[in-house]
Amino acid sequence: MIFPVARYALRWLRRPEDRAFSRAAMEMALRGVRKVLCVAEKNDAAKGIADLLSNGRMRRAELQPSCPL
Per the domain annotation, does 50 fall within a domain? yes
Count of domains observed in the chain: 1
Per the domain annotation, does 6 fall within a domain? no
Per the domain annotation, does 33 fall within a domain? yes
Per the domain annotation, does 24 fall within a domain? yes
Per the domain annotation, does 4 fall within a domain? no
| CB-based contact 32:5 (threshold 8 Å) | no
- Per-residue confidence (pLDDT) for residue 20, from 0 to 100: 64
Q: Name the nearest CA neighbour of 23 among 38, 11, 13, 35.
A: 13
Structural domain range at position 28: 20-56
Give 45-64 pLDDT, tens digit per residue: 777 877 777 777 777 777 66
Per the domain annotation, does 32 fall within a domain? yes
Per the domain annotation, does 29 fall within a domain? yes
- Per-residue confidence (pLDDT) for residue 67, from 0 to 100: 66
Per the domain annotation, does 51 fall within a domain? yes
